[in-house]
Every structure is written in C-alpha cells, then in structure tokens.
C-alpha cells in the first residue's frame, strides 16, 4: 500500500453509510473499522500468532463469562473466519501465545482465575488446541508474560497474582519455569509481603540493567475502596531466573499497565505506565546508572488499561497506543525519537475494550489494531489505511424443497439457487462449497459458478442445489460456503419434504 494512503484530514470520524462504517481519520493516520468478530461472553484478553501454519495472523481470546477460549483464523486481508470456541475452565482472564514445547507450533498459556491455575494448551498446528499441562500459580492471576528468564532456551511464565484485581489476597508475583516438556514447574513467588494493601496489575520482562538478563518491572494499584496509591517495583535478575528488588518508582496513582522500549535511541529501555486515577500515560526515560526521569503525564481516554509501543506512521520512530476501557477507544501518540509524544487522536472500538494486539493483519506492511471488547462479546479490528475488504451477501439463508412420494428423484430437475454477491470493496474469494449434515446425501450441488472464483465489487456467482431423497419424510442439511471475508463460513439451511 503506498505510504501516501496513510495521510488524511485532521479529524476523528465514525460515519455509517448504508449501515457500513467509514474510515476514522486522525493526524497523519487513517484507520478503517471492519465488521465485528463475535467470540465468547466477556472477552478479557487477546493474543495473536499463526495458529494453523498458513503464514497469516490469527487471534485468540479468553472469555470470562462463558469460561472458554475463542480462536479466530485470519484470512490475510484483515478479516477473520468465524470464531471456534472451546471450554477451558473457570474465569479465564489472561492468555499468551508461545511455543512452550519447542515443536515449532504455537501453544496457548492461560490463567484460570476462578481456580488459581495456569493451563498450557498444546497447539496442533491446525488452529486446534489440546491441554498439555496445568500448574497452580497464586491467587487470582490476571496478567501473564512468557519469556525465557533463566537462559535455558525454554519459555517460562511470569504471572501477576492480583487476587482478581484486589479482592482475594495475598497478592504476589510468580515465576514458573518450563519443565523442559512444555509444562510448568511449581511457582517461585516474589513481592509476597504486600505493599500496604496494593496489588500488582502488570509486569514488563526486559533487560533493565544492561547485563543481558531479563528483569521485571511491576505496576501496583490499590483496591477501589482505598485511597489512591501506586508504584513500580523493579526486580533485578540475579542469575538463573531468580530476582531481587532493585528499586521503586512512584510515577502515579492506580497504575494499570506497563510497557518498555528504547524510545530515544540511547540503548536503554524506557518505560510507559498508564494510570486509571488520572486517565494518563507517563513516560519514564532511563538514564545512565539506572535512574529514571519522569516526563509529564499525557492525557488519553477514560480508564486506560493497556499500552503498546510500535511505529504507526512509518517514520522509524517508536509510537504508542493506549487502550481506554471506559471511553471505548484507542489513543495513538506519535513519538519524536527524543521521548516526547503528540496525540494523533482517539479511535473508537467496541464497548469496554480490555486488551489489544498490534499486528499487520492485512499484509500491507503497516500495523493494524485489534481489541477484546468485553461488553459486546467480540473483537474489534481497525485496519491501517483505506482498507478494502470483501463483504459477501447471500440471496437466501434457507432453501425449502417439496416433492410428492414416488416423484422422480432427479436432483437436476428442479434445483434451487442461491446467489453469492460481493458488496464490499475488496476481492471476495470463494474457497470451498460443500453440503454437510447427517442427511447431506439427500442434497447435491448440481451447478456451481462460484468454484475458484474471485468476485470484484458488485460481481456475483450462483450455486444450484438439488434434492433427491432415498426415502420419504423431512430431510435437513447445510450448504456451507467458505470465503476470505469476515465471519466465514456462510451457511444456508436445506430442508427437503417428501409428501405422502
């Protein structure tokens, strides 16, 4: 996609034209919303990776009310197939994709907050997962990071045990080493003595001391019924994945998230922390000797709960995006390479976004945005630029066949037709058409002009289905159309009735 496409009018807009959302514009940035992606009930966390080995970005959410995981396989154009959900246990609140057993396939690590367990789901490389191992972690885990912290080449897990955001003490931080098979050893806990009733909310795992070993930076907050408080504790990796408190920082109250990157090109990891108390994000620039300079807080949306660094405008400088739970938005801030940031605007997403991922979902070389939107049970995706995505429309969602007993059963004699049209702006590719169900043999596709077809905007193709039952009665099946658009596959109910 040409770089010029990223430049737009200095406004923020959400407009619906004929029911279709138009791009949102902000300073030097354009993001286009896509159709919503339904998942389980109340998604709380989201992760991305290639789960089926096709080279395209996929996503997974954990859904706290339906107690399941939803996997959305990517089509490579910024849209996703319909979610496949499966139960995992009580109140999952955190998930990370990582290759835990070193078989070259991504696995999922998730926190079951209702049972105080971490679970490793082994990826089969097809988008499906099976339970590999489980391990107790601590009270009410709400955030996870996966990283090799002891240098043995295996991915370990750092768990933030907040007692489900301050309700179930004791609170602590747990490090769980990989057992060399993809499972987890018993946790080693830190910060277990408490900090005047505060609980941990997030953790960054990066080398903060310049010795090549990943250290820990932990954000802390207070329960809602206590006076505002907050701090960042930095724990130094003393070797082999053990940690000791190095220093404490106090950049604000009610800290909710932390992220790190070298944003001013001095070779040191700087920090960004979000504050629910002040609706801000604050940059902490690391100086030689390990001290941090606190810059002025930057106003974002209401109740920021996550922050991520990435280059959004293509200038080779680190930018920042903050997810705001109570204003249903993402705030993008553009970095100048010296540690200062300028707001590029706020972009609307689904209600109550709780977490986000930033990846190139449509393969245009620019980062896109996706949020787990808790109150709409879905994933909201914003594509960088004037995204052109396909939008299929089927002329019917049910076909009803009727015939008399003894009538000739030639499926081609009186077929029913469904027309598949592309009313979107991107190319629609029909990948597969099949009839499924226990009585699928009573129906057949007798004419298919959609086979191996790519439909431009306004184009259409047709599928003709015949009915040839082997016995009287009512027969049911499903015509399934797989395509490269959001929510694939499409389904048409087939009902055949033999009278007499």
Q: Convert the pLDDT of each residue in 357-405 to its tens digit.
A: 999 999 999 999 999 999 999 999 999 988 889 999 999 999 999 988 8
Give residue 265's region: left, alpha or beta (phi > 0; psi -120 to 50).
left
Percent share of the chain, pLDDT over 90:
84
Give residue 191's region: left, alpha or beta (phi > 0; psi -120 to 50).
left
Instruction: Compute the radius of gyration of the chain from its Cα atoms.
Output: 26
pLDDT greater than 80 at residue 315: yes
Q: Convert the pLDDT of each residue in 163-221 to its tens digit.
A: 988 888 889 999 999 999 999 999 999 987 768 889 999 999 999 999 999 999 999 99
Look at residue 149 in the predicted model and tell me its pLDDT. 98
Q: CATH 2.60.40.10 spans which residues of the chain?
A: 392-498
Q: How is 397-424 classified by DSSP, letter by letter?
A: SEEEEEEETT----TTSS-EEEEEEE-S
pLDDT greater than 50 at residue 235: yes
- Tokens 């920082």 correspond to 249
pLDDT greater than 80 at residue 2: no
Q: Convert the pLDDT of each residue in 107-164 to its tens digit.
A: 999 999 999 999 999 999 999 999 999 999 999 999 999 999 999 999 999 999 999 8
Encoded tokens for 215: 């250290």
Going through 449-499 in order, the beta strands assigned E by DSSP cover 454-455, 460-467, 473-483, 490-499
* Residue 264 vs residues 268, 269, 287, 318, 338: alpha-carbon distances, Å: 8, 9, 11, 8, 4
Q: Convert the pLDDT of each residue in 248-274 to its tens digit.
A: 999 999 999 999 999 999 999 999 999
Q: CATH 2.130.10.130 spans which residues of the chain?
A: 37-283
Look at residue 28 in the predicted model and tell me its pLDDT. 58
pLDDT greater than 50 at residue 20: no
Look at residue 226 in the predicted model and tell me its pLDDT. 81
Domain 37-283 in CATH 2.130.10.130? The answer is: yes
Q: Distance (Å, rounded) from C-alpha 220 to C-alpha 193?
A: 13
Percent share of the chain, pLDDT over 70:
94
Look at residue 194 in the predicted model and tell me its pLDDT. 65
Specify the DSSP class assigned to residue 128.
-
Encoded tokens for 204: 């960054």
pLDDT greater than 60 at residue 23: no
**Average pLDDT score over residue span 87-97:** 97
Contact 274, 307 (CB under 8 A): yes
Q: Distance (Å, rounded) from C-alpha 238 to C-alpha 240?
A: 7
Q: Convert the pLDDT of each residue in 25-41 to its tens digit.
A: 444 589 999 999 999 99
| CATH level 3 topology of 392-498 | Immunoglobulin-like (2.60.40)
Look at residue 17 in the predicted model and tell me its pLDDT. 31
**Average pLDDT score over residue span 412-436:** 93
Q: Convert the pLDDT of each residue in 334-356 to its tens digit.
A: 999 999 999 999 999 999 999 99
Look at residue 267 in the predicted model and tell me its pLDDT. 96
pLDDT greater than 90 at residue 408: no
Cis amide bond preceding 348, omega within 30: no
Look at residue 335 in the predicted model and tell me its pLDDT. 97
Q: Convert the pLDDT of each residue in 3-19 to its tens digit.
A: 233 333 323 333 333 33
């Amino acid at each position: 996609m040409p770089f010029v496409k990223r430049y737009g009018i200095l406004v923020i807009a959400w407009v619906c034209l004929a029911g279709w959302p138009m791009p949102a514009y902000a300073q030097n940035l354009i993001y286009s919303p896509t159709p919503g992606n339904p998942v389980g009930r109340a998604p709380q966390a989201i992760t991305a990776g290639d789960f089926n080995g096709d080279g395209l970005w996929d996503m997974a959410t954990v859904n706290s009310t339906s107690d399941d995981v939803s996997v959305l396989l990517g089509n490579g154009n910024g849209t996703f197939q319909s979610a496949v959900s499966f139960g995992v246990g009580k109140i999952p609140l955190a998930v990370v994709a990582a290759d835990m057993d070193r078989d070259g396939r991504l696995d999922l690590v998730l926190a079951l907050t209702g049972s105080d367990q971490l679970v490793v789901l082994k990826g089969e490389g097809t988008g499906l997962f099976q339970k590999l191992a489980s391990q107790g972690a601590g009270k009410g885990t709400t955030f996870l990071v996966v990283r090799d912290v002891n240098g043995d080449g295996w991915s370990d897990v750092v768990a933030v045990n907040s007692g489900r955001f301050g309700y179930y003490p004791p609170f602590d931080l747990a490090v769980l080493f990989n057992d060399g098979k993809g499972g987890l050893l018993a946790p080693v806990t830190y910060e277990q003595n408490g900090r005047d009733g505060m609980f941990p909310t997030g953790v960054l795992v990066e080398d903060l001391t310049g010795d090549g070993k990943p250290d820990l930076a932990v954000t802390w907050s207070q329960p809602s019924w206590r006076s505002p408080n907050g701090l960042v504790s930095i724990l130094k990796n003393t070797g082999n994945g053990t940690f000791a408190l190095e220093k404490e920082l106090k950049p604000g109250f009610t800290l909710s998230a932390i992220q790190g990157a070298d944003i001013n090109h001095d070779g040191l990891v700087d920090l960004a922390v979000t504050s629910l108390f002040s609706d801000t994000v604050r940059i902490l620039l690391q100086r030689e000797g390990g001290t941090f300079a606190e810059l002025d807080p930057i106003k974002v949306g209401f109740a920021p709960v996550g922050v991520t660094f990435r280059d959004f405008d293509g200038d080779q400088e680190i930018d920042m995006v903050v997810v705001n739970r109570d204003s249903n938005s993402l705030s993008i801030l553009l970095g100048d390479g010296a540690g200062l940031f300028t707001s590029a605007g706020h972009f609307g997403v689904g209600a109550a976004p709780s977490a986000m991922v930033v990846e190139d979902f449509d393969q245009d070389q620019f980062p896109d945005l996706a949020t787990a939107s808790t109150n709409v049970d879905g994933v909201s995706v914003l594509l960088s630029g004037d995204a052109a995505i396909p939008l299929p429309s089927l002329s019917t969602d049910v076909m009803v066949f009727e015939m008399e007993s003894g009538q000739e059963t030639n499926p081609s004699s009186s077929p029913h037709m469904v027309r598949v049209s592309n009313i979107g702006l991107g190319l629609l590719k029909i990948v597969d058409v099949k009839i499924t169900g226990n009585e699928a043999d009573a129906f057949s596709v007798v004419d298919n002009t959609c086979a191996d077809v790519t439909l431009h905007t306004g184009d259409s193709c047709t599928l003709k289905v015949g009915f040839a039952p082997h016995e009287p009665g009512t027969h049911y099946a499903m015509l399934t159309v797989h395509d490269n658009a959001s929510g694939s596959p499409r389904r048409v109910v087939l009902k055949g009735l033999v009278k007499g």
